[in-house]
Amino acid sequence: MRVRRHTRAGRAAATLAATGCAVLAACGSGESILQAGNDPRPTAAPITTSPGQTTVPGETVPSTAPPTTEPRPIDSLPSCDLAALDAAVASGPVEILFWHGMSNELGRELERIVEQFNGSQDRVRVRLEFQGGYEQTIDKYLQSNTGNRPDLVQMPEYTVQLMVDTESNVPVQACMEDAGDTADELLPAALSAYATESVQWAMPFNVSNPVLYYNELVFRNAGLDPDAPPRTLAELADAGRTIQASGAASYGIALDSAPDGGGGWFLEQWLAKEGEFYSDNANGRTAPSTRVLFDGPSGVELFRQLQDLVLTGGGVYVGENPSGTDAFLKLADSSAPASMTIATSAALQSVLLFVEGGIIPGIGVDDLGVAPMPSPSGEPGTLIGGASLWITAGRGDERAAAAYEFVRYLVSPEIQSQWAANTGYVPVNSGAIDVDPLKSLYEADPRFRVAYDQVATTPAVATSNGPVLGPLREVRVAAAGATARVLQGADPAEALADAAALANALIADYNARR
């Protein structure tokens, strides 16, 4: 059910200003946050060959154990000795290097948080280095040896298998256990995204998920209830046909085929909502995946419904949407506008500024509706986008301990409240929603809470953890190609079979070189 706002446009704008909201060019690599399915979106696929091929001269390529469904013993992995920091600080603060991929306003907010941390204590000093974007961070990390790597690195969610295979990290679980920390306040769906073989490898930090954006004025003019937006793909089609027939807008939903949007990432979302695995071995969580499963009956039926949205359900295909703005601009098309689209929750602040600037004729800030992402059968929950924090092994126990001390700070309720309110990301700590400024933002404008509630209500089942694949970026590109074909009239089964064959070849090639 869509939540009602208790504000008028002026109050919403004031709230955004007070929280330091991002502008349109607020994402990594200087690109628009509107395209941020896994924000920031790389301009090209990063290197995702087997990590063994990216070692530098003089570094030993580790052997890889064969796939197993047994939990990996935590004591067989690099340890985390937090007492090492206590001993080291007797000689002064321990300095750690933190690589990240966030530019513009997101990067500036991260800089402010680092400054706050450095000024709040005298044990750890964090040196922040921007690497130019996620793909540059990935490439540089894989091509560096231990001595040239950072103590802490931010990596996007599609790199889990890649990072595990480097065998270069201290699992955050080891640090949590050494500290006696629990995960009681951390959102389970966010935390489990970075766990495989019963090991918690990384700590989620910036979390997003897809939501439905829609024009409430069009809904009212078409005789639809703006407080009851579509929950299923069938309801999306019904609403689109009603909107077209009424003349309130030319189209219902605008769909794209971006790898990090409607073409790749959303396929993972929809299969998870239906309780289906994207790849074998429980999405690669119990053992490395060997093949994708999206070309099965559920995937074919899903693609048939997506095709029907465009062919008979009042929807419109806007292409690959490389800029990330094409679907939103279709809502502003004065000659043939759409009335709905699905995009990352991280874009909400920017989209509201977009609307406030008069880009979409005739609607104000309060006329933009936000609702959970519709699914084939209306099931709740979501897979997360964004990135997490990985602690590098082999750089000294005191550095790993210092990195974890900073990680604890970053995911505290107070800092997650600040981070989420000022960036639009979902807080990973449930306690953050009861702390200002996020508490006030959610109360003033519940649209910002929709994405949080999607994560918080995600079912605790195995299919709610997304796929872990070494070449996940490239697999998403293959799925995006199939989506583009289907939205232009191709046979869903044939398009998915072709995409699956390509994806399986990518997976086999990666696994052969692990």
DSSP structure string for 279-346: BHHHHHTSS---SB-TTSHHHHHHHHHHHHHHHTSS-EE----TTS-HHHHHHT-SSS---EEEEEGG
Residues 255 and 297 reside in one and the same domain? yes
Whether residues 260 and 311 share a domain: the answer is yes
Q: Is 149 in the same domain as 249? A: no
Is residue 56 domain-resident? Answer: no
> What DSSP state is assigned to residue 411?
T
Residue 278 shares a structural domain with residue 347: yes
Q: What is the pTM of this model?
A: 0.88
Q: Which residues contact 166 (CB under 8 A, 6 or more apart)?
A: 51, 141, 142
Higher pLDDT, 47 or 456: 456
Which residue did the predictor score with more confidence, 66 or 159?
Answer: 159
Regarding whether 184 and 123 lie in a shared domain, the answer is yes
Residue 504 has which token pair? Answer: 């399986």
**Residue 41 domain-assigned?**
no
To the nearest whole percent, how much of the chain has pLDDT over 70? 86
8 Å CB contact between 350 and 23: yes
Residues 6 or more apart in contact with residue 480 via CB below 8 angstroms: 257, 258, 259, 263, 264, 320
**3-class SS of residue 293:** coil
Per cent of the chain over pLDDT 90 is 79
Task: Please state, in angstroms and rounded to a whole number, the distance separating the CA atoms of residues 155 and 185.
Answer: 22
Residue 151: closest CA among 387, 388, 390: 390
For 163-188, the pLDDT digits (tens) are 999 999 999 999 999 999 999 999 99
pLDDT digits (tens, 9 = 90+) for 275-310: 999 999 999 999 999 999 999 999 999 999 999 999
Work out the average pLDDT over 343-372. Answer: 90
Cα–Cα distance, 71 to 94 (Å, whole number): 34
One-letter amino acid at 228 equals A
Annotate 258-290 with DSSP letters as a single string: -TTTTTTHHHHHHHHHTT--SBHHHHHTSS---
Distance spanning both ends of the chain, measured CA to CA: 45
Burial 83-104 (b: 16+ CB within 10 A, else e): ebbeebbeeebbebbbbbbbbb
With beta carbons less than 8 A apart as the criterion, state whether 382 and 455 touch. yes
| Dihedral sign computed on CA atoms, order 98, 104, 105, 106 | negative
Determine which of 84-93, 319-328, 401-410, 480-489 has the lowest per-residue pLDDT on average. Answer: 319-328
Same-domain pairing of 305 and 251: yes
- Name the residue with tokens 């989506």: 483
Same domain, 119 and 143: yes
| DSSP character at residue 105 | H
Looking at the structure, tell me whether residues 176 and 247 fall in a common domain.
Answer: no
212, β-bridge pairs: 342, 371
Report yes or no on 453 lying in a domain. Answer: no
Amino acid of residue 38: N
210, β-bridge pairs: 344
Same domain? For 480 and 362 the reply is: yes
Mean pLDDT of 109-113: 98
Within this chain, do residues 185 and 245 fall inside the same structural domain, yes or no? no
- pLDDT of 321 reads 87
Q: How far apart are CA 59 and CA 210, in angstroms?
A: 40
The total domain count for the chain is 2
Structural domain includes residue 86: yes
pLDDT of residue 381: 92
Which among 74, 62, 293 has a CA at the least distance from the CA of 197?
74
Q: Are 178 and 247 in a shared domain?
A: no
Q: Taking 70 as the threshold, does the pLDDT of residue 477 lie above it?
A: yes
- Is 447 domain-assigned? no
Q: Which of 17-21, 247-251, 374-378, 496-500 has the lowest mean pLDDT?
A: 17-21
The pLDDT value recorded for residue 360 is 80
Q: Which residue has the tokens 């995960």?
A: 183
- Is 57 within the bounds of a domain? no
Sign, CA torsion 161/167/172/173:
positive
What is residue 361's predicted lDDT score, i.e. its pLDDT?
77
CATH of the domain at 198: 3.40.190.10
Report the candidate in 83, 85, 81, 89 with the shortest Cα–Cα distance to residue 122.
Answer: 89
In a domain, 202, yes or no: yes
In the structure, what pLDDT confidence band is assigned to residue 425 with cuts at 50, 70 and 90?
very high
Distance of alpha carbon 225 from alpha carbon 322, whole angstroms: 32
Q: For residue 262, what are the domain limits? A: 9-19+210-383+471-512
HEC per residue, 1-13: CCCCCCCCHHHHH
Per mean pLDDT, which range of 41-50, 217-226, 361-370 is the poorest?
41-50
Identify whether the C-beta of residue 22 lies closer than 8 Å to the C-beta of residue 423: yes
Residue 173's closest CA among 85, 76, 97, 98? 76
pLDDT of the residue at 60: 35
pLDDT grade, residue 51 (50/70/90)? Answer: low
Q: What is the dihedral of CA 397, 132, 414, 435, to 10 degrees?
A: -150
Provide the pLDDT for residue 296. 97
CA distances to 53, 70, 71, 171, 389 from 75, rounded to whole Å, are 27, 14, 12, 10, 21
Lowest mean pLDDT segment, chosen from 341-355, 403-417, 439-453: 341-355
In a domain, 304, yes or no: yes
Q: Alpha helices of 384-424 — where are they, by DSSP H?
A: 397-410, 413-423
Sequence-distant (6+) residues with CB within 8 A of 488 are: 317
Same domain assignment for residues 293 and 427: no
**Is the per-residue pLDDT at 47 higher than 70?**
no
